[in-house]
A and B are shown apart, each in its own frame.
Chain A
């Protein structure tokens, strides 16, 4: 038994610190939608960076939506930092999520889009204003405060979303391919920025769960990689091992590193 009162699942064989409760823990979480059944068991340690890879429809986004509270599991428990959040509204869960697109409200400028993260009524105190401006400059968008999403590039828009996510200081950040539409170089830059932002705060680094279709993105940053297939986590392990093609044959097959065995 661990501190959050749950039994360790055999999949939890990563290099996560075992003394603190997991930032995110899915215990036999089940969900069914349109004929597809999902079943997830997972623990993400505090400050850990986990990449989710796998074919389309394997359940990567479903896992994030369940964690964020946008889908309700039919069975199982979801815990965050030891607390059961299974029945808790998205607003109450200690996390921020970035989507592939539409992370910003189109009729609000960058400043107010970021402000929503700490001032949902859009009434901003002087101190909050400073924080928002600092967040914008931290993502390299000084002078962009008055710009609307339509006046920014795709990369700039996602930077604004990143600024808001970090301003909220949640211990868990879920990334549903927010950089997928960007080119390879820009994607690398954004991930580097994300890694840097995470370290910048004096607070402990947030845990990150990142869905990606580009396994090479996972390599430089992720601590562990989970491979999803047919609604389950088929394999999970240290990033270097998972991405090397030496581990589970399904993963190396997915990555195109090994031929199907006869």
Chain B
């Protein structure tokens, strides 16, 4: 085998893998459109005032969530980046946790803290102020800010880290005052990350399902995603579900296009961050201000975790753990997560290696470039066709040919797998790309192919990010409610699904206990897998 054949095999395998993912993402809806005689009706639903109000609410909550997340993240990122204290890296790592925390557990925690009987309401009542009502727009906004503000802060810190080291050195040497530093260094860096971060968060909030399902208060606070779910699960109105799905796909596609035009990667921001060394002149006032901002921001991010811990420990955990339903659900969740994460890693790696193989070439033709961009887009398409929409398509399509419940596990695993792909690609891609840029030509020159090339070039580069990617996709699948919400049944129960059931039947203590188990397992999974994979090299840096 020569290097040319090797590249062709890689490209072929990658295209096949991407087609598989694409086929699954769009297959449900396409099969449905072909098999059923129902023509997709986008116009009729749009004329419906109910649908229009849902569309309006979807956009409004996403816009407000984005605005709040970004506006709050800016001072936090500035303070975090400027402040010099020992736990800075730990706080930035902590800010990664909301993305790993099962959304359902997070939503429950928001109720515990900000709800009518929550900590904040009690505090307000104590000083004679009215209690908060967390259901509806307020709760959705609080939960979205909890999940996305830390993400925005990380993206901004990463942007500040990209400032060349000389910039901070010059600022130190020239004794630039804070406002000049902001104007000449910080703001240009933030501004470069602002469109991408906003578009990403807007997209996440437009497709947000679990938070709106749990915290949304009836028809007045429902988004397209939840409306699709309700149309299938409660009203069984396939026509409406398809119409709403297509509106949702068009909407998210528009947002994604906007993101791409703004020229930013919609799923970036996984560096550890906070590496830049700064030499600002010290000022006690500013140190105190920075400290205050960091403490408040960290408290806001930590509080839901504390709430899960406290109210979870108050539940009858020993009974819960011994309960057969809980045990079965936990095992099901683990199996689903392991299968989904493995599948997702395999497909993503194949696609990534094909992308690198396509990058190499004496004459980078338009066809190669097109194929490469196609592959890159395929991995991100799940951002447009969200899990609930994918599920809805397959739910309706499979109904025509088989028993939906029998196929449920496969659909859920596959949905979770495609869900994790954009993140895996963002985590592994840069490292693989760098390795190929550094040693690709050498490997080519030495005629390395197949297993030898993989072992010497690709694997060493991917090993560490692979650990993080696997851990992240495990956690993502383990805590996901979007895919299981439609396909869950008494025969197929995962932990998040069980948690939703207990919440629905007002078994609050059970729900709190399950949320704690869910959160603990997720965090443990991430820690364990990341450590196991990363191995001894961890100590090196």
Q: Which residues of A contact B (CB under 8 A)?
A: 68-70, 89-93, 95-97, 99, 101-103, 105-108, 116-117, 120-122
Contact across chains for B169 and A120 when beta carbons are under 8 A apart: no
Per DSSP, are chain B's interface residues mostly helix, strand or loop, or mixed? Answer: helix
Q: In the assembly, what is the distance between CA of A163 and CA of B12, in Å?
A: 56
List A contacts of B165 (CB < 8 A): 102
Q: In the assembly, what is the distance between CA of A101 and CA of B185, in Å?
A: 16
Contact across chains for A120 and B174 when beta carbons are under 8 A apart: yes
Q: A107-B188, A122-B180 are in contact. Are A102 and B174 (CB under 8 A)?
A: no
Q: In the assembly, what is the distance between CA of A91 and CA of B38, in Å?
A: 72
Q: Which residues of B contact A (CB under 8 A)?
A: 164-167, 169-170, 172-177, 179-180, 183-185, 188, 277, 279, 281-282
Contact across chains for B169 and A116 when beta carbons are under 8 A apart: no
Contact across chains for B184 and A68 when beta carbons are under 8 A apart: no
Contact across chains for A107 and B184 when beta carbons are under 8 A apart: yes
Quote the shortest CB–CB distance from B192 to chain A (angstroms).
10
Q: A101-B166, A120-B177 are in contact. Are A70 and B184 (CB under 8 A)?
A: no
Contact across chains for B281 and A89 when beta carbons are under 8 A apart: yes
Contact across chains for B180 and A120 when beta carbons are under 8 A apart: yes
Instruction: List the A residue with the shortest CB-CB distance to B541.
Output: A34
14 A-B contacts (beta carbon < 8 Å): A68-B173, A69-B172, A70-B172, A89-B172, A89-B279, A89-B281, A90-B279, A95-B173, A96-B173, A101-B166, A103-B166, A116-B176, A116-B180, A121-B179
Q: In the assembly, what is the distance between CA of A68 and CA of B282, in Å?
A: 17
Nearest 7 Cβ contacts at the A-B interface = A91-B175, A102-B166, A90-B172, A102-B164, A99-B166, A105-B184, A120-B176
Q: In the assembly, what is the distance between CA of A100 and CA of B177, in Å?
A: 24
Q: A69-B172, A103-B166, A103-B170 are in contact. Are A108 and B279 (CB under 8 A)?
A: no
Instruction: List the A residue with the shortest CB-CB distance to B187.
Output: A107
Q: In the assembly, what is the distance between CA of A95 and CA of B188, in Å?
A: 27
Contact across chains for A108 and B184 when beta carbons are under 8 A apart: yes
Q: In the assembly, what is the distance between CA of A68 and CA of B176, in Å?
A: 16
Instruction: List the B residue with the shortest CB-CB distance to A117.
Output: B174
Contact across chains for B169 and A91 when beta carbons are under 8 A apart: no
Quote the shortest CB–CB distance from A114 to chain B (angstroms).
11
Q: In the assembly, what is the distance between CA of A90 and CA of B115, in Å?
A: 50
List A contacts of B179 (CB < 8 A): 121
Contact across chains for B167 and A102 when beta carbons are under 8 A apart: yes
List B contacts of A108 (CB < 8 A): 184
Q: In the assembly, what is the distance between CA of A99 and CA of B173, in Å?
A: 12
Q: In the assembly, what is the distance between CA of A132 and CA of B177, in Å?
A: 20
List B contacts of A69 (CB < 8 A): 172, 279
Given A90-B169, A96-B173, list of 8 further CB < 8 A pairs?
A68-B173, A69-B172, A89-B279, A91-B174, A95-B173, A103-B170, A105-B185, A106-B188
Quote the shortest CB–CB distance from A27 to chain B (angstroms).
22
Contact across chains for A70 and B167 when beta carbons are under 8 A apart: no
List B contacts of A89 (CB < 8 A): 172, 279, 281-282
Quote the shortest CB–CB distance from A79 to chain B (angstroms).
18
Contact across chains for B180 and A90 when beta carbons are under 8 A apart: no
Instruction: List the A residue with the shortest CB-CB distance to B173.
Output: A90
Quote the shortest CB–CB distance from B213 to chain A (angstroms).
44
Q: A70-B277, A91-B281, A116-B180 are in contact. Are A105 and B169 (CB under 8 A)?
A: no
List B contacts of A97 (CB < 8 A): 169, 173
Q: A96-B173, A102-B167, A120-B174 are in contact. Are A91 and B180 (CB under 8 A)?
A: no
Contact across chains for A70 and B174 when beta carbons are under 8 A apart: no
Q: In the assembly, what is the distance between CA of A120 and CA of B164, in Å?
A: 19
Which among A97, A102, A108, A120 has the highest number of chain B CB atoms within 10 Å? Answer: A120
Quote the shortest CB–CB distance from A55 to chain B (angstroms).
22
Quote the shortest CB–CB distance from B236 to chain A (angstroms).
57
Q: In the assembly, what is the distance between CA of A90 and CA of B179, in Å?
A: 18
Q: In the assembly, what is the distance between CA of A247 and CA of B185, in Å?
A: 47
Which among A95, A96, A106 has the highest number of chain B CB atoms within 10 Å? Answer: A106
Quote the shortest CB–CB distance from A80 to chain B (angstroms).
13
Which among B169, B277, B282 has the highest number of chain A CB atoms within 10 Å? Answer: B169
List B contacts of A102 (CB < 8 A): 164-167
Q: In the assembly, what is the distance between CA of A90 and CA of B185, in Å?
A: 18
Quote the shortest CB–CB distance from A238 to chain B (angstroms).
30
Quote the shortest CB–CB distance from B541 to chain A (angstroms).
9
Q: A89-B279, A107-B184, A107-B188 are in contact. Are A120 and B167 (CB under 8 A)?
A: no
Q: In the assembly, what is the distance between CA of A68 and CA of B168, in Å?
A: 13
Contact across chains for B177 and A99 when beta carbons are under 8 A apart: no
User: Which of B167, B172, B277, B281 contacts A105 (CB under 8 A)?
Assistant: B167
List B contacts of A68 (CB < 8 A): 169, 173
Instruction: List the A residue with the shortest CB-CB distance to B166.
Output: A102
User: Which of A70, A117, A121, A122 contacts B169 (CB under 8 A)?
Assistant: A70
Quote the shortest CB–CB distance from B188 to chain A (angstroms).
5
List A contacts of B169 (CB < 8 A): 68, 70, 90, 97, 99
